[in-house]
Amino acid sequence: MEGFPIISLITFIPVIGMLVILFLPKEKVQNIKITALAATLIQLVLSVILMANYNYSAGGIFEESSFQFIDKFRWINIEGLSWIGTVKIDYFMGVDGISMPMVLLTSIISVIACISSWNISKSLKGYFALFLLLDTGMMGVFVSLDFFLFYVFWELMLLPMYFLIGIWGGPRKEYAAIKFFLYTLLGSIFILIVMLGLYFSAMEILPDGQRVFTFNILTMMDQSNYTQDGILSPFNPNNWRMLAYIALFIGFAIKIPMFPFHTWLPDAHVEAPTPISVILAGVLLKMGTYGILRISYPIFPDITRELAWYIALFGAVNIIYGAFVALAQKDFKKLIAYSSVSHMGYVLLGMASLTTAGINGAILQMFNHGTITAMLFLIVGVVYDRAHTRGLNDFGGLASQMPVYTGFVTVAFFAAIGLPSLSGFISEALVFIGAFHVESIRVITIISTLGILLGAGYMLWAMQRVFFGKLNEKWSGLQDLEMREYIMFIPLTIIIILLGVYPSLMLDVMNTSVNTLVDFVSTNFTNISLGGL
Amino acid sequence: MQVELTHFLVVSTLLFSMGVFAIVTRKNAILVLMGIELMLNAANINFVAFSKFGGFGLSGQVIALFVIILAAAEAAIALAIVLNIYKTFSNVNVDEINNLKE
Amino acid sequence: MNYENLYSSLSLIQPEITISVFLLLIVVADLIFDKNKALIPFLALAGLIIASVQVILQVTNTGYAFPFSDVYLSRKGMVTVDAFGAFFKLIIIISSFILVYFSYVSDEIKKSEKNLGEYYALIFGMILGMFFLSSASDLILIYVALELLSLSSYVLAGFSKLRTRNSEASLKYLIYGATSSGLMLFGISIFYGLSGTTNLYEINTFLASHQINHLTLSFASILIFAGIGYKISSVPFHFWTPDVYEGAPISITAYLSVASKAAGFALLVRFIKSAFVTSDDSLGYWEILSVFDWHSLLILVSILTMTLGNLTALWQNNIKRMLAYSSIAHAGYMLLGVAVLSNQGLVAVLIYFFFYLFMNLGAFFIVMLIANKTGSEEIDDYNGLGYTSPFLGVALTLFMVALIGLPPTAGFIGKLYLFIALVDAQMITVAIIALLNTVIALYYYIRVLKHMFLTKSTVETQTVSVIRPNIIFIIFMLAPVLIFGVYFGPVVDFAKRCVQILGL
Report the pLDDT value the prediction gives residue C190, as an integer from 0 to 100: 92
Query: Which domain covers residue C360, as residue numbers?
Result: 296-504
Q: Is there a domain that residue A474 lies in?
A: yes
Q: How many CA atoms lie within 13 A of A6 on its CB side?
A: 23
Between the CA of residue B48 and those of A102, A286, B32, B67, what are the distances in Å? 77, 73, 25, 11
Q: Is there a domain that residue A148 lies in?
A: no
Q: Is B64 on the interface with C (CB under 8 A)?
A: no
What is the least distance, in Å, from the CA of B50 to any CA of chain C?
5
What is the least distance, in Å, from the CA of B3 to any CA of chain C?
17
Please give the single-letter amino acid code of residue A404.
Answer: V
DSSP string, A206-233: PTTS-EEE--BHHHHT-GGGB-SS-TT-
Q: How many CA atoms lie within 13 A of C123 on its CB side?
A: 33
Of the partner residues C151, C165, C192, the one whose CB lies closest to the CB of residue B77: C151
Distance from C-alpha of C175 to C-alpha of C155, rounded to nearest angstrom:
12
User: pLDDT of B19-66, one tens digit each?
Assistant: 999 998 988 889 999 999 999 999 999 999 999 888 888 888 999 999
Distance from C-alpha of A89 to C-alpha of A419, rounded to nearest angstrom:
47
Give the pLDDT mean for C95-100: 94
Q: Is there a domain that residue C423 lies in?
A: yes
Report the pLDDT value the prediction gives residue C281, as an integer from 0 to 100: 78
Tell me the CATH architecture of domain B5-89. Answer: Orthogonal Bundle (1.10)
Are B47 and B67 contacting, i.e. CB atoms less than 8 angstroms apart?
yes
ipTM of the complex in this document: 0.95
Report the pLDDT value the prediction gives residue A108, as an integer from 0 to 100: 93
Whether residues A163 and C407 touch (CB distance < 8 A) is answered with no
Of the partner residues B16, B23, B97, the one whose CB lies closest to the CB of residue C171: B97
Lowest mean pLDDT among A341-350, C116-125, C377-386: C377-386
Of the partner residues C342, C387, C435, the one whose CB lies closest to the CB of residue A193: C435
User: pLDDT of C4-13, one tens digit each?
Assistant: 677 888 888 8
Q: Is there a domain that residue A209 lies in?
A: no
Q: How confident is the model at residue C96 (pLDDT cuts 50, 70, 90)?
A: very high
What is the crossing angle of helices C116-135 and C83-105, to 10°? 160
Given a contact as 3+ CB pairs under 8 Å, which chains touch A? Answer: C
Q: State yes or no: pLDDT of C402 exceeds 60.
A: yes
Report the pLDDT value the prediction gives residue C132, as an integer from 0 to 100: 93
Three-class secondary structure of residue A70 per DSSP: strand
User: pLDDT of C220-230, one tens digit each?
Assistant: 999 999 999 99
Are A423 and A503 contacting, i.e. CB atoms less than 8 angstroms apart?
yes
Q: Is there a domain that residue C444 lies in?
A: yes
Whether residues B84 and C179 touch (CB distance < 8 A) is answered with no
Report the pLDDT value the prediction gives residue A153, as an integer from 0 to 100: 93
Q: Report the residue of chain A nearest C435, measured CA to CA.
A: A189
Q: Is C70 on the interface with B (CB under 8 A)?
A: no
Distance from C-alpha of C4 to C-alpha of A335, rounded to nearest angstrom:
85
Buried b or exposed e, range A298-313, using 16+ CB within 10 angstroms: bbbbbbbbebbeebbb
Q: Is there a domain that residue A394 lies in?
A: yes
Give chain C's mean pLDDT.
88
Q: Is there a domain that residue C181 lies in?
A: no
Digitized pLDDT (tens) for each residue of chain A, 533 residues in all: 556 788 899 999 999 999 999 998 888 889 999 999 999 999 999 999 999 888 888 887 788 888 888 888 888 777 766 556 667 788 899 998 899 999 999 999 999 999 999 888 888 888 999 999 999 999 999 999 999 999 999 999 888 999 999 888 888 888 999 999 999 999 998 999 999 888 888 888 777 777 788 888 888 888 888 887 778 888 877 778 889 999 999 999 999 888 889 899 989 998 999 999 999 999 999 999 999 999 999 999 888 888 999 999 999 999 999 999 999 988 889 999 999 999 999 999 999 999 999 999 999 999 999 999 999 999 999 888 888 888 888 887 888 888 888 899 999 999 999 888 899 899 999 999 999 988 888 999 999 999 889 999 999 998 888 888 777 777 777 788 888 888 889 999 999 999 999 988 888 888 899 999 998 888 877 655 544 44
Q: Is there a domain that residue A201 lies in?
A: no
Report the pLDDT value the prediction gives residue B54, as an integer from 0 to 100: 84
Whether residues C426 and A231 touch (CB distance < 8 A) is answered with yes
For residue B35, give the nearest of B81, B6, B5, B74 by alpha carbon.
Answer: B74
For residue A372, give the nearest of A344, A398, A392 by alpha carbon.
Answer: A344
Tally of structural domains, chain C: 1
Report the pLDDT value the prediction gives residue A532, as an integer from 0 to 100: 42
Tally of structural domains, chain A: 1
Are B68 and B61 contacting, i.e. CB atoms less than 8 angstroms apart?
no
- A450 burial type by CB count under 10 A (0-12 exposed, 13-18 middle, 19+ buried): middle
For residue C428, give the nearest of A249, A243, A227 by alpha carbon.
Answer: A243
Report the pLDDT value the prediction gives residue C32, as an integer from 0 to 100: 87
Per CB-CB distance under 8 Å, the chain C contacts of B54 are 193, 196
Report the pLDDT value the prediction gives residue C198, as an integer from 0 to 100: 86
Whether residues C446 and A78 touch (CB distance < 8 A) is answered with no
Report the pLDDT value the prediction gives residue B47, as an integer from 0 to 100: 92
Beta pairing class for A87-95 and A68-78:
antiparallel
Given a contact as 3+ CB pairs under 8 Å, which chains touch C? Answer: A, B
Q: How confident is the model at residue B97 (pLDDT cuts 50, 70, 90)?
A: confident
Q: Is there a domain that residue C121 lies in?
A: no
Please give the single-letter amino acid code of residue C335.
Answer: L
Percent of chain C with pLDDT over 70: 95
Report the pLDDT value the prediction gives residue A482, as an integer from 0 to 100: 85
Distance from C-alpha of A79 to C-alpha of A87, rounded to nearest angstrom:
7
Whether residues C446 and A200 touch (CB distance < 8 A) is answered with no
Whether residues C143 and B67 touch (CB distance < 8 A) is answered with yes
Report the pLDDT value the prediction gives residue C73, as an integer from 0 to 100: 47
- Please enumerate residues of A whose Cβ is less than 8 A from a Cβ of C: 75-79, 81-84, 87, 123, 126, 151-152, 155-156, 158-159, 162-163, 166-167, 173-174, 177-178, 181-182, 185-186, 189, 192-193, 196-197, 199-200, 231, 240
Whether residues C442 and A177 touch (CB distance < 8 A) is answered with no
Chains C and A, touching by 3 or more CB pairs within 8 angstroms: yes
Report the pLDDT value the prediction gives residue C386, as an integer from 0 to 100: 84
Q: Is there a domain that residue C442 lies in?
A: yes
For residue A131, give the nearest of A32, A227, A60 by alpha carbon.
Answer: A32
Q: Report the residue of chain B nearest C160, measured CA to CA.
A: B84
Query: Which domain covers residue A437, as residue numbers?
Result: 300-510
Distance from C-alpha of A532 to C-alpha of A325, rounded to nearest angstrom:
38
Three-class secondary structure of residue C219 per DSSP: helix
Percent of chain C with pLDDT over 90: 45
For residue C183, give the nearest of A72, B16, B27 by alpha carbon.
Answer: B16
Q: How confident is the model at residue B68 (pLDDT cuts 50, 70, 90)?
A: very high
Dihedral sign for Cα atoms in the order C494, C497, C503, C504: positive
C77: which DSSP letter?
E
Distance from C-alpha of C431 to C-alpha of A195, rounded to nearest angstrom:
13
Distance from C-alpha of A329 to C-alpha of A323, rounded to nearest angstrom:
10
- H/E stretch holding C95 reads helix C83-105
Whether residues A83 and C412 touch (CB distance < 8 A) is answered with no
Q: State yes or no: pLDDT of C480 exceeds 70.
A: yes
Give pairs for C325-328: CB < 8 Å, separation 24+.
Answer: C325/C241, C325/C242, C326/C403, C326/C441, C326/C444, C326/C445, C327/C233, C327/C241, C327/C245, C327/C257, C327/C261, C327/C360, C328/C233, C328/C234, C328/C235, C328/C238, C328/C241
- H/E stretch holding C460 reads none
